[in-house]
């Protein structure tokens, strides 16, 4: 439980084999960017670039200057390795080709 004038938030960042998750008590009025800086995640994962990585709260994209609420979970998203639409097209072509081979 957070002390008076404070609120509890979590900062998370995930890699395929590592999950960083830390809970912090921050002052009311703290922004996403400030909480990320206070969490230590940037020192542990220097590849994070807040100018490039997207940020969110509970799966919804938010800018770094968003003021947090008690209980928020800040998420730092990694860049996509592949375009989702292109991946779907590739799977559809593969499925269609596999269907022709069987027919």
Q: Element (H or E) spanning 36, and its range? A: helix 32-39
Q: What is the pTM of this model?
A: 0.75
Q: Is residue 60 a part of any domain in this protein?
A: yes
Q: Is residue 63 a part of any domain in this protein?
A: yes
Question: In whole angstroms, what is the distance from residue 62 CA to residue 74 CA?
Answer: 9
Q: Is residue 50 a part of any domain in this protein?
A: yes
Q: At 74, which CATH number?
A: 3.10.20.30
- Sheet with 55-57, strands from edge to edge, namely 19-27, 6-14, 73-76, 55-57, 60-61
**Number of independent structural domains in the chain:** 1
Q: Is residue 23 a part of any domain in this protein?
A: yes
Q: Is residue 82 a part of any domain in this protein?
A: yes
Task: Identify the domain containing residue 93 by its residue range.
Answer: 6-102
Q: How many CA atoms lie within 13 A of 74 on its CB side?
A: 34
Q: Encode the chain (103 residues) as per-residue pLDDT tens digits.
A: 567 899 999 999 999 899 999 999 999 999 999 999 999 999 999 999 988 899 999 999 999 999 999 999 999 998 866 666 776 777 888 787 777 766 5
Q: Is residue 28 a part of any domain in this protein?
A: yes
């Amino acid at each position: 439980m957070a002390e008076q004038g404070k609120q509890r938030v979590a900062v998370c960042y995930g890699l395929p084999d590592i999950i960083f998750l830390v809970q912090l008590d921050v002052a009311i009025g703290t922004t996403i960017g400030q909480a990320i800086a206070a969490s230590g995640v940037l020192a542990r994962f220097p590849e994070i670039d807040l100018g490039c990585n997207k940020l969110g709260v509970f799966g919804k994209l938010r800018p770094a200057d968003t003021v947090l609420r008690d209980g928020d979970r800040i998420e730092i998203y990694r860049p996509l390795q592949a375009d989702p639409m292109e991946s779907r097209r590739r799977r559809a072509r593969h499925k269609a080709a596999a269907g022709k081979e069987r027919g």
